[in-house]
């Protein structure tokens, strides 16, 4: 019997004197537990960024038997060194904020599958079945999709092969590895301009390549590109990344068809983010941008499936918004599960 069933039975017999979540001593501390492929969970949460971690806490406080399936613990905040807009902290690093979230999640008895992503989400009778990238399957009566976004790839030769060996997607994480080196930054928005600002303190020369003739960023960041250490190559596209064991050069193509080979030891690809929604395609409605469509109660188009955070079509992608949506999604799932029992 799951915690939810226990609570509902308890209520039916008239013996429940406390609200679920207020029951004391029922959630041992630091109690993340191994996942069980045989049982049927009340709720499967996919993703452990701000949305998924908040959803996990809210689900546990509602006594839902919950499994959290995730590629990592933390998501995008791990890519930023400085957060100044999460209430309660005037300044906190992404890593420190995630440590706080993680500490709170670990107070509850949640089953966790880490370092393994959802590859497929299907309806299986009146349940949902998640198949992971490593081939494991887990079943639950409801699901919260909180799989966020990831960096877009260029899709050029050399990009995948040299990933982590000169090819990077996060200047906050990797800029310090390029001290005194020549690097290419690809993109024209705030992410690319932030990468230029980060690298100006570290690299020798920065080539800024964008497929449009203009840069679209905040004025303060645009100002950084006026440094003599920055050469703008606009408009141009990356044709190929070269190198045997690490990046040695980057070829860029200009609109007149000319190819220029830039000698550089690194390339930062900062061309935006895309939603991690492929595993749910065909099951729930998705918009033109790949985001899962939700209503104001965080419900996706299939009953029993909820979604929260950057993977959804909710406007504004921020930590505090993702966390709030994660809370809403779990409370929605709880309401749905209580409805199933009636």
Under rule CB under 6 A, residue 277 binds ligand FAD? no
For the CB of residue 125, give the shortest distance to ligand FAD in the complex, in Å. 22
For the CB of residue 228, give the shortest distance to ligand FAD in the complex, in Å. 26
Under rule CB under 6 A, residue 276 binds ligand FAD? yes
| Distance (Å, whole) CA 93 – CA 39 | 38
Contact (Cβ atoms closer than 8 angstroms) between residue 154 and residue 167: no
The residue (of 5 and 102) whose beta carbon lies closer to ligand FAD is 102
Sheet of 237-242, strand order: 237-242, 249-253, 259-263
Task: Name the helix (H) or strand (E) containing 274.
Answer: strand 273-275
The residue (of 253 and 293) whose beta carbon lies closer to ligand FAD is 293
**Phi-psi group of 64: left, alpha or beta (phi > 0 → left; psi -120 to 50 → alpha; rest → beta):** beta
167: tokens are: 């090819």
| Residues of span 298-317 touching ligand FAD by CB under 6 A | 309-311, 317
Contact (Cβ atoms closer than 8 angstroms) between residue 193 and residue 215: yes
- Total of residues contacting ligand FAD (CB under 6 A): 35
Under rule CB under 6 A, residue 254 binds ligand FAD? no
Nearest to 297 by CA among 265, 321, 327: 327
Under rule CB under 6 A, residue 46 binds ligand FAD? yes
Under rule CB under 6 A, residue 168 binds ligand FAD? no
> Looking at 35, 67, 83, 238, which residue binds ligand FAD (CB under 6 A)?
83
The residue (of 157 and 172) whose beta carbon lies closer to ligand FAD is 172
The residue (of 49 and 187) whose beta carbon lies closer to ligand FAD is 49
Tell the residue number behind the tokens 């420190």, with chain if given.
96
Contact (Cβ atoms closer than 8 angstroms) between residue 336 and residue 128: no
The residue (of 293 and 317) whose beta carbon lies closer to ligand FAD is 317
The residue (of 211 and 318) whose beta carbon lies closer to ligand FAD is 318
> Looking at 319, 329, 331, 333, which residue binds ligand FAD (CB under 6 A)?
319
| Residues of span 57-76 touching ligand FAD by CB under 6 A | 69-72, 75-76
The residue (of 215 and 329) whose beta carbon lies closer to ligand FAD is 329
Under rule CB under 6 A, residue 230 binds ligand FAD? no
| Distance (Å, whole) CA 183 – CA 250 | 9
Under rule CB under 6 A, residue 174 binds ligand FAD? no
For the CB of residue 169, give the shortest distance to ligand FAD in the complex, in Å. 9
**Which DSSP category does 30 fall into?**
S
Contact (Cβ atoms closer than 8 angstroms) between residue 75 and residue 54: no
> Looking at 20, 47, 188, 304, which residue binds ligand FAD (CB under 6 A)?
47
- With the CA atoms of 3, 73, 31 and 4 taken in that order, what torsion angle do they form, in degrees rounded to the nearest 10? 0
Under rule CB under 6 A, residue 117 binds ligand FAD? yes
Paired sense of beta strands 249-253 and 237-242, if any? antiparallel
> Looking at 139, 141, 149, 224, which residue binds ligand FAD (CB under 6 A)?
149
What angle do helix axes 319-341 and 3-12 make, rounded to 10 degrees? Answer: 50
What angle do helix axes 50-61 and 319-341 make, rounded to 10 degrees? Answer: 40
Q: Interface with ligand FAD by CB under 6 A: which residues?
A: 46-52, 69-72, 75-77, 79-80, 83, 85, 117-118, 146-149, 172, 276, 279, 309-311, 317-320, 322
């Amino acid at each position: 019997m799951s915690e939810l069933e226990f609570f509902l039975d308890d209520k039916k017999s008239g013996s429940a004197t406390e609200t679920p979540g207020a029951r004391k001593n029922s959630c041992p501390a630091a109690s993340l537990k191994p996942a069980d492929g045989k049982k049927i969970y009340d709720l499967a949460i996919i993703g452990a960024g701000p949305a998924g971690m908040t959803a996990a806490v809210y689900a546990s406080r509602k006594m839902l038997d919950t499994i959290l399936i995730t590629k990592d613990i933390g998501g995008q905040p791990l890519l930023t060194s400085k957060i100044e807009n999460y209430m309660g902290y005037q300044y906190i690093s992404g890593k420190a904020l995630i440590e706080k979230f993680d500490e709170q999640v670990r107070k509850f008895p949640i089953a966790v599958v880490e370092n393994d992503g959802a590859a497929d989400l299907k309806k299986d009778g009146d349940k949902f079945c998640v198949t992971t990238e490593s081939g494991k399957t887990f079943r639950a009566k409801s699901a919260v999709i909180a799989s966020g976004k990831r960096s877009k790839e260029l899709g050029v030769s050399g990009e995948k092969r040299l990933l982590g060996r000169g090819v990077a997607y996060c200047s906050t994480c990797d800029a310090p590895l390029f001290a005194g080196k020549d690097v290419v930054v690809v993109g024209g928005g705030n992410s690319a301009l932030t990468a230029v600002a980060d690298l100006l303190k570290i690299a020798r020369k920065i080539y800024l390549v964008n497929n449009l003739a203009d840069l679209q960023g905040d004025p303060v960041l645009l100002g950084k590109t006026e440094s003599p250490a920055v050469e703008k190559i606009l408009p141009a596209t990356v044709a190929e990344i070269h190198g045997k064991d690490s990046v040695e050069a980057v070829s860029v193509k200009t609109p007149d068809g000319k190819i220029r080979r830039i000698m550089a030891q690194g390339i930062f690809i900062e061309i935006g983010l895309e939603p991690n929604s492929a595993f749910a395609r065909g099951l729930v409605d998705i918009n033109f941008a790949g985001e899962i469509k939700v209503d104001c109660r965080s419900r996706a188009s299939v009953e029993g499936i909820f979604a929260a955070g950057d993977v959804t079509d909710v406007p504004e992608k921020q930590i505090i918004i993702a966390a709030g949506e994660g809370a809403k999604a779990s409370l929605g799932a709880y309401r749905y599960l209580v409805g199933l029992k009636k």
